Amino acid sequence: MDFAVPAELDEVRASLLAFIDREVRPVEERFRAELQEDRWTEEMRDAASALRQKSAEIGYYGAHLPEEVGGWGLSTLGYTLLVEAGAQTGLRFTTAVLGPPNPEAPTRLLLQASPELQKKYLVPLVKAEKTMCFALTEPDAGSDAQAIRTRATRDGDHFVLNGTKHFITNGAYADFAIVFAVTDPEKKAQGGITAFIVDKGTPGFTVGKHQRTMAGETSQVELVFDDCRVPATNIVGEEGFGFYAAMKFLNTGRAYIGALCLGIAEYCVRIATEYAKDRKTFGKPIGKYQAVQWMLADSAVEIEAARWMTYRLAWLCDQGEEPMRESSMVKLYNTEMVNRVADRAVQIFGGMGYLAEGPVERIFRFVRMLRIVEGTSEIQRLVIARTMGL
């Protein structure tokens, strides 16, 4: 059993880190004050867009997609390593240079679309000429996505959409949305939920309330569909099987979320360890105290366990398997692990850890979201239990 990272993937990871250091770090420094206040200005959005364009030109942004749509055809393991490496830097603008797990980035779901739709929507996404949003969650349908109420009714060669989505990241800025709607209430997820591409500006499609989160972000919004007419040709995949198409790529997405958690946790441990070596109390560094040593040691152990769970999940996906059990385990363990690690980092930094201008307070707020999005911890435990025959 070979646990070594292939040399070619190690080179790709090293080149990404060089790109981040060269292009992203100066932008991060430029907007340091705004980032500390969780204040995203139009100038910052323009800077993020410029970084996204540079990344797309090299190929990092859509590296997880096949070459025929402009990607690199990089393996799941390869892209997992890139996501982890980006998160290890602790730089917020790295979210602009990598695709998944960012919901505005090119998604493998669009590989299920017709060649015409891929040319119109997926290729521009890979080139960073457009962004998108993923409109599934509703006020009464979160983890239980099968309970969505947004309806799509056939009217000739169009469908008429009615309903409301919420917590939609990038919804206010996306060029188009992938919207999931019920086309057959009797079948629901078993052939009754369809995915549609809906362009920004389509009559009946509006952005509703901006929803500010505890992480300080304001990119989550409501999307409202009021007699919104969408051509039947804008269906992604087969009519009635949009939910199934989305689930098909769930496992690879969980590998990327796991890698994001892994990288953030590694960053937290690194800066907490450095601080523990420098910060002195009662005449010696706090890193010499057993209480601090144990917090860092526990974090190191959990990170090591998470790393190999994540890499194995990515490897299983690359073997063509559908490892639902393993993907749920990674989503559950890594998101809860990074919360514990971030909490310990705040404790080690003490008062500086609690300050908004400190290095870990924002991270502590951000990672809390990861236990909720794309299936809560409770849902993951339920899925794992079912794979055990319970």
SS3 (DSSP) at 276: helix
Q: Give the catalytic positions in this structure.
A: 374
Rg (the chain; Cα; Å): 21
First to last CA, the chain: 32
Beta strand 280-281 with 284-285: parallel, antiparallel or unpaired? antiparallel
SS3 (DSSP) at 265: helix
Give me the amino acid identity at 281: T
Looking at residue 98, the DSSP 8-state letter turns out to be -
Nearest to 250 by CA among 323, 180, 190: 323
Per DSSP, what are the bridge partners of residue 132? Answer: 176
Long-range contacts of 300-307 (CB under 8 A, 24+ apart): 300/269, 302/265, 302/337, 302/340, 302/341, 303/262, 303/265, 303/266, 303/269, 303/337, 303/341, 305/333, 305/337, 306/258, 306/261, 306/262, 306/265, 306/330, 306/333, 306/334, 306/337, 307/262
Q: Which residues contact 47 (CB under 8 A, 6 or more apart)?
A: 27, 30, 31, 93
Q: Which residue has the tokens 């990598």?
A: 98
Q: Is the dihedral of CA 178, 182, 184, 190 positive or negative?
A: positive
